[in-house]
């Protein structure tokens, strides 16, 4: 199974500001009533978007100026809450290829990485600069460079950080571990043999 080497993501940005944006907000539970991940993009931030439009404003996801953006900006502890992979799936299906946020909730980060959605971290002040630049020029291209560990935009460069294991997995095309896990079959059997409860009586 050959996976893409995700070394750099270039595209336009879109900012959904705020800290502790939870998975219920990213994809409300009623969109989980399905046996596939198809069509999840439409549910992305569904209730938040509706609430904003009901207040007579335009949510960034519905703002024509940002249409086609592939890089999502947000705050700290992004993706907290449930383990639903539907959250990163919805973000990816909407068209995003990378997220730039201050920090991530653990399960979300792992889920996103496993589907090849790059979650990079940047300083709060740098994210604010990025957001300001995007707001001033929505057509501006950003480059999220995992190899150089930097984000370049409008003549500026800011540092990004990312856990080594995830960065390595994306850059070397190993973000979906299933192939490697399957290769470990014999080692798994050996480990299992040392654990009595795995052989335990079946009921």
Partner 1 sequence: MAQSLFQKVWAAHSVRLLANGQTQLLIGTHLIHEVTSPQAFGMLRDLGLKVAMPHRTFATVDHIVPTDRQSEPFSDPLADAMIRELRKNCTAHGITYFDLASGRQGIVHMVGPEQGITQPGTTIACGDSHTSTHGAFGAIALGIGTSQVRDVLATQTIALGPLKVRRINVEGRLRPGVYAKDVILHIIRTLGVNGGTGFAYEYGGAVFDAFSMEERMTVCNMSIEGGARVGYVNPDETTFAYLKGRPYSPTGPAWDAAVARWRATASDPGCQYDDVVTILGADIPPTVTWGINPGQGIAITENIPDPAKAAAADEQASITEALAYMKLTAGAPIKGIRIDVAFLGSCTNARLSDFKEVAKYLKGHRVAPGVKAIAVPGSQIVGRLCAELGIDRVFREAGFDWREAGCSMCLAMNPDKLVGDQLCASSSNRNFKGRQGSPTGRTLLMSPLMVAAAAVTGGVADAREVFGVNN
Among 11, 59, 62, 81, binds partner 1 (CB under 8 A): 81
Provide the terminal-to-terminal Cα distance of the chain, rounded to the nearest Å.
37
- The answer to whether 82 contacts partner 1 (rule: CB under 8 A) is yes
C-beta of 139 vs 189, nearer to partner 1: 189
> Which element (helix H / strand E) includes 151?
strand 150-153
- The answer to whether 35 contacts partner 1 (rule: CB under 8 A) is yes
- The answer to whether 34 contacts partner 1 (rule: CB under 8 A) is yes
> Residues with Cβ < 8 Å from 67, sequence gap 6 or more?
none
Task: Write the DSSP assignment of 94-147 as a string of letters.
Answer: HT--EEEES-B-HHHHHHHHHTT-EEEE--HHHHHHHHHHHHH-TT-EEEEETT
Candidate ranges 5-13, 44-52, 58-66, 138-146; the one touching partner 1 (CB under 8 A): 44-52
Q: Please, are residues 156 and 136 in contact by the beta-carbon 8 Å criterion?
A: no
Residues 108-147 binding partner 1 (CB under 8 A) are: 110-111, 114-115
Q: Please, are residues 117 and 92 in contact by the beta-carbon 8 Å criterion?
A: yes
Token duo for residue 163:
């856990």
Among 42, 106, 123, 137, binds partner 1 (CB under 8 A): 106
Per-residue binding letters, 60-79, with partner 1 (x by CB under 8 A): ----------------xx--
- The answer to whether 166 contacts partner 1 (rule: CB under 8 A) is yes
H-state helical runs in the chain = 23-26, 46-54, 86-94, 106-114, 124-136, 164-171, 178-183, 185-193, 196-199
Candidate ranges 6-14, 20-28, 127-135, 139-147; the one touching partner 1 (CB under 8 A): 20-28
Query: Which positions lie near partner 1, rule CB under 8 A?
Result: 18-20, 22, 24-25, 28-30, 32-37, 47-48, 50-51, 76-77, 80-86, 88, 103, 105-107, 110-111, 114-115, 163-166, 168-169, 172, 174, 176-178, 180-182, 184-185, 187-188, 191-192, 194-198, 200-203
């Amino acid at each position: 199974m050959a996976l893409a080497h995700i070394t750099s993501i270039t595209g336009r940005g879109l900012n959904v500001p705020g800290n502790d944006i939870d998975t219920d907000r990213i994809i409300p539970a009623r969109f989980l009533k399905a046996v596939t991940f198809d069509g999840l993009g439409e549910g992305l931030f569904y209730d938040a978007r509706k609430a904003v439009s009901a207040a007579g404003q335009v949510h960034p996801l519905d703002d024509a100026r940002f249409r086609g953006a592939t890089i999502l900006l947000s705050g700290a502890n992004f993706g907290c809450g449930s383990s639903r992979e539907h959250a990163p799936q919805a973000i990816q299906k909407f068209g995003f290829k990378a997220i730039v946020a201050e920090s991530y909730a653990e399960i979300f980060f792992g889920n996103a990485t496993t589907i090849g959605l790059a979650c990079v971290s940047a300083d709060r002040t740098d994210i604010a600069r990025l957001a300001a630049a995007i707001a001033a020029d929505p057509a501006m291209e950003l480059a999220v460079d995992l190899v150089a560990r930097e984000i370049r935009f409008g003549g500026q460069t800011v540092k990004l950080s990312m856990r080594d294991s995830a960065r390595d997995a994306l850059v070397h095309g190993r973000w979906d571990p299933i192939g490697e896990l399957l290769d470990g079959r014999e080692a798994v059997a050996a480990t299992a043999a040392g654990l009595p409860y795995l052989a335990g009586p079946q009921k």
